[in-house]
A and B are shown apart, each in its own frame.
Chain A
Amino acid sequence: MKRKMWFVLGLLALTALLVVACGPTPTPAPQPTKAAPPTQAAPKATKAPAVKAVTVSVWFHSGKGEERQVLDDQVKAFNAANTDVQIKAVQLPEGSYNDQVQAAALAGDLPCLLDFDGPFLYNYAWSGYLAPIDKYVSDSLRKDFLPSIIAQGTYAGHLYSLGTFDSGLAIWGNKAYLKKAGVRIPTGIDDAWTKEEFLDALKKLQALPEVKYAIDFKMNYGQGEWYTYGFSPIVQSFGGDLINRKDYQSADGVLNSPQAVEAMTFFQSLFKDGYANAKPAGDDDFYVKKVTALSWVGHWMWGPHSKNLGDDLVLIPMPKLGDKAVTGMGSWNWGLTSSCKTPDAAWKFLDYLISPDEILHMTNANGAVPARKSAIAKSKLYAKGGPLNVFVQQLESGIAVPRPVTPAYPVITSAFAEAVQNIVSGADVKAELDKAVKTIDQDIKDNKGYPLPK
Chain B
Amino acid sequence: MTEMTEFSPPARTLSRRQSEARMAWLFSAPALFLLVVFLIIPFIMAFWFSFTDQRLVPNLNLPTQFVGLRNFVRLAQDETFRRAIFNNFYFVLIVVPLQTSLALLLALLINQKIKGVNLFRAAYFSPVVVTMVVVSVIWTFLYNPGEGMINQFIHTLSLGRLGPYDWLESTTLAFPSIMLLSIWQGVGFQMVIYLAGLQDIPEQLYEAAQIDGANNVQQFFYVTLPQLRNTTIFVVLATTILAFKLFTQVWVMQGPSGHPQGSTMTTIVYVVSKGFKQGKIGYASAMTVVFFLIVLAVSMLQRTFLQEERAVD
Contact = CB atoms under 8 A, between A and B. Distances in A.
**A associates with B:** yes
Contacts of B56: 102, 106
A20 interface: no
A452 B61 CA distance: 8
B57 A127 contact: yes
A105 interface: yes
B126 interface: no
Contact of A427 (B53, B60, B166, B261): B261
B61 A451 contact: yes
B261 A410 contact: no
B261 A99 contact: no
Nearest to B276: A99
Interface in B257-310: 257, 259-261, 276-279
B279 A422 contact: no
Given A127-B57, A128-B60, A453-B61, A279 B261 contact: no
B59 A425 contact: no
Most interface-central of B53, B74, B255, B257 (chain A CB within 10 A): B257
Interface string A122-137: 0000111000000000
B200 to A, nearest CB: 30
Contact of A127 (B59, B146, B278): B59
A425 B57 contact: no
B57 A279 contact: no
A418 B257 contact: yes
B277 A279 contact: no
Contacts, number: 46
B62 A447 contact: yes
Given A279-B166, A427-B261, A102 B57 contact: yes
Contacts of B53: 446
A410 B145 CA distance: 32
B260 A425 contact: yes
B261 A425 contact: yes
B70 to A, nearest CB: 9
B171 interface: yes
A16 interface: no
Q: Is the interface of B mostly helix, strand, loop or mixed?
A: loop
Given A127-B57, A127-B59, A128-B60, A223 B259 contact: yes
Interface in A432-450: 435, 442, 446-448, 450
A416 to B, nearest CB: 13
A311 B45 CA distance: 63
A90 B59 CA distance: 26
Contacts of A453: 60-61
Contacts of B255: 222-223
A433 to B, nearest CB: 15
Nearest to A106: B57
A421 interface: yes
Interface string A400-426: 000000000011001000100110010
Interface in B13-62: 53, 56-57, 59-62
A425 B171 contact: yes
Interface in B142-180: 145-146, 166, 169, 171
A450 B171 CA distance: 36
A241 to B, nearest CB: 23
Interface string A277-292: 0010100000000000
Given A99-B277, A425-B171, A446-B53, A281 B145 contact: yes
A358 to B, nearest CB: 32
Interface in B47-96: 53, 56-57, 59-62, 74, 79
B207 to A, nearest CB: 43
A60 to B, nearest CB: 21
A448 B289 CA distance: 26
A105 B57 contact: yes
Given A99-B276, A106-B57, A421-B261, 19 more contacts: A102-B56, A102-B57, A102-B279, A127-B57, A128-B59, A128-B60, A222-B259, A279-B166, A410-B278, A411-B278, A418-B257, A421-B260, A425-B171, A425-B260, A427-B261, A435-B79, A448-B62, A450-B61, A451-B61
15 contacts: A105-B57, A106-B57, A126-B61, A127-B57, A128-B60, A279-B169, A281-B145, A418-B257, A422-B261, A425-B261, A427-B261, A442-B74, A451-B61, A453-B60, A454-B61
Closest 4 CB pairs of A and B: A106-B57, A105-B57, A451-B61, A422-B261
